[in-house]
Amino acid sequence: MISPVVFLWFVLETIFSFQVFTEAYVMTKGGPLNSTLFYNLYLYTKAFDDFDMGYASALAWLLLIVSLVVTLLQFKIGRKWVYYEIDPGR
């Protein structure tokens, strides 16, 4: 009965992991030799430091597509792992 909750937590945490930006930007802004230049920080740098909006837009679309594909794969695999109790009164 807890498997749907764990599955939802897993999906949301995976999506949130693609959104790492604030920590790296505030502390290091990419760090020495780009050691903390995460994808979102690179996207921000391309858009607002280099003013390459077309490339940054393509990066944003790519991030959307990758996160969508990963989420859909999780839902497809989750069908085998997640048990939804069926109400016997229906």
Q: Which amino acid is at 64?
A: L
Rounded to two decimals, the pTM is 0.79
Q: Which amino acid is at 74?
A: Q
Q: Using alpha carbons only, what angle is made at residue 78 by residues 76 and 84, rounded to the nearest 5 degrees? A: 120
**pLDDT tens-digit profile of 21-44?**
888 899 998 889 988 889 999 999
Question: Which pLDDT does position 79 carry in this prediction?
Answer: 85
Cβ atoms within 10 Å, residue 43: 19
Which residues in the chain show pLDDT less than 70? 87-90
